[in-house]
Amino acid sequence: MSQRLINWFKFASPASFYPLAGTLWPWFAGLASVLCAVGLWISFFVAPTDFQQGEGYRIIFIHVPASWMSMFIYCVMAFWAAIGITFNTRLSGMMSSALAPTGALFAFLSLWTGALWGKPMWGAWWVWDARLTSELILFFLYIGYIALTSAIDDPRRADKAGAIVALVGVINVPIIYFSVKWWNTLHQGASVSMTKAPTMATTMLWGMLIMALAFWMYSIAIALYRVRAIILERERHATWVAELPEMQR
Amino acid sequence: MKPRQKRLAIVLGGLAALGIAASLILNAFQSNLVFFFTPTQVASGEAPKDRPFRIGGLVKEGSLQRNDITARFVVTDTAREIPVAYKGILPDLFSEGKGVVAQGTLGADGNFTASEVLAKHDENYMPPEAKAAVDQAHEASRTLKQ
């Protein structure tokens, strides 16, 4: 173990992860602000008008990155859940809990901006097609995770129960992603995918990718910030917490 | 096996089992998960006959007729066609040659009476000038082939 360049297991301890997260989150927050400013500027002032949707399509710059993020955060939660169950690390459950509200936020944003986009373009705020319904289920999974983990008083047991929800629910993520391919849906197919060239003008694509990166940075920053609060709350009786410089005041 | 490896195996095994279960369930509900039926599916009798359903396809070029507030158009999937009548306001993106999803009932005469019409747009986003260039290129390649 000591031969490794970085001993990852050292950071599995809340006591050593707390200061690391404290150093890292302002950097990610700064990057998020800069990328968000650049992304929004491209989205609203540089990207051209669309040939069929006019200016209305610009909601894509929030809608698509938010949807990507909502799916990705759930995968990260499931990853931490698996690590937590396998290695019995305390930090994993804390990371999952720290990510859940942000994931729920992005799932909600995705549904909300989707409704605002659907009304003028499709003619309906909401339809029960496979893509919209599976994204709604994802939102409920986040809410369910938060409700379940906060309903159980013992944090270790709460983490275990939450981990099972996270792992079971992760099945939904590929269903959301491939729903537009597997079934007839009102929602259009993917404009950007691994297998084919994007079907968007280049400046539009850049705006969307920069916004996606900004959401990534925001999510990392807020998750690190939140996990610090969770660590303090759960370890409040530990000596190392009492010895923190910010506790001396 | 160490307890740690055992737990990892349980997690992975559980996920695999869930994945298989989910795919079997989704496969079984295949027909209930479609949002709309294409004219070809309707022609082959896949659509429900006793309750309203949705049809989807492209609005056939030159088929749109407006009579007072009733709009008549033909939905096609390039193989089969269904004539549709709809009383109401069409969505902004509705136009000939574009995607459409209509909910309603199919009459015995083969005419579809819609109660709701939704526009389905594609995943292509480009400025109008680029669209004009693409159309021009299509036109050019078509005349070359002839």
Put simply, whether A137 touches B (Cβ < 8 Å) is no
Put simply, whether A2 touches B (Cβ < 8 Å) is no
Q: Which residues of chain A make contact with B92, given a CB cutoff of 8 A?
A: 120-121, 123
Q: What share of chain A is helix, strand, coil (3-state, %, to 5)?
A: 75, 0, 20
d(CA A118, CA A140): 21
Q: What is the pLDDT of residue A245?
A: 84
Please write the tens of the pLDDT for every residue from A129-142: 889 999 999 999 99
B110 CA: distance to closest CA in chain A (Å): 22
A47 CA: distance to closest CA in chain B (Å): 9
- First-to-last C-alpha distance (Å) of chain A: 38
d(CA B39, CA A121): 23
Give the predicted TM-score (pTM) of the model: 0.88
Of A175, A96, A167, the residue nearest A135 (C-alpha): A175
Question: ipTM value of the model?
Answer: 0.81
Of B140, B78, B68, B84, the residue nearest B116 (C-alpha): B84
Asked whether residue A21 carries a pLDDT value surpassing 90, the answer given is yes
Between residues A246 and B120, which one has the greater pLDDT?
B120
Q: Per-residue confidence at A190, pLDDT binned at 50, 70, 90?
A: confident
What single string gives the DSSP state of each residue in B99-143? EEEEEEEE-TTS-EEEEEEEEE--S-B--HHHHHHHHHHHHHHHH
Homologous superfamily assigned to B35-120: Nucleic acid-binding proteins (2.40.50.140)
Residue type, B127: P
Size of interface A-B (CB pairs under 8 A): 117
Mutate to test the interface with B, among A50, A125, A131 (most CBs of B within 10 A): A50
Mean pLDDT of the A185-196 span: 82
Residue type, A56: G
For residue B92, give the nearest of A120, A188, A189 by CB distance: A120
Of B110, B102, B103, B98, the residue nearest B61 (C-alpha): B98
Mean pLDDT of the B106-110 span: 85
**For residue B104, what are its two tokens?**
């309603």
Please write the tens of the pLDDT for every residue from A205-231: 999 999 999 999 999 999 999 999 999
d(CA A198, CA A178): 16
CB-based burial label for B15 (10 Å; 0-12, 13-18, 19+): middle
Longest dimension (CA), chain B: 77
A33-52 residues touching B, CB cutoff 8 A: 48-52
B122 CA: distance to closest CA in chain A (Å): 5
A176 CA: distance to closest CA in chain B (Å): 12
Contact assignment for B127 to A48 by CB distance below 8 Å: yes
Centre a 10 Å sphere on the Cβ of residue B10 and count the other Cβ atoms it contains.
12
Q: What is the pLDDT of residue A1?
A: 46
Q: What is the pLDDT of residue A83?
A: 92
Q: What is the pLDDT of residue B125?
A: 85
The H or E element containing residue B77 is: none
Put simply, whether A168 touches B (Cβ < 8 Å) is yes
Percent of the residues in chain A that have a pLDDT greater than 70, as a whole number? 98
Q: What is the pLDDT of residue B146?
A: 58
Q: Which residues of chain B make contact with A190, given a CB cutoff of 8 A?
A: 123
Contact assignment for B126 to A86 by CB distance below 8 Å: no
Please write the tens of the pLDDT for every residue from B82-101: 999 999 888 888 888 889 99
User: What residue segments make up the domains of chain B, in order of their start?
Assistant: 1-33, 35-120
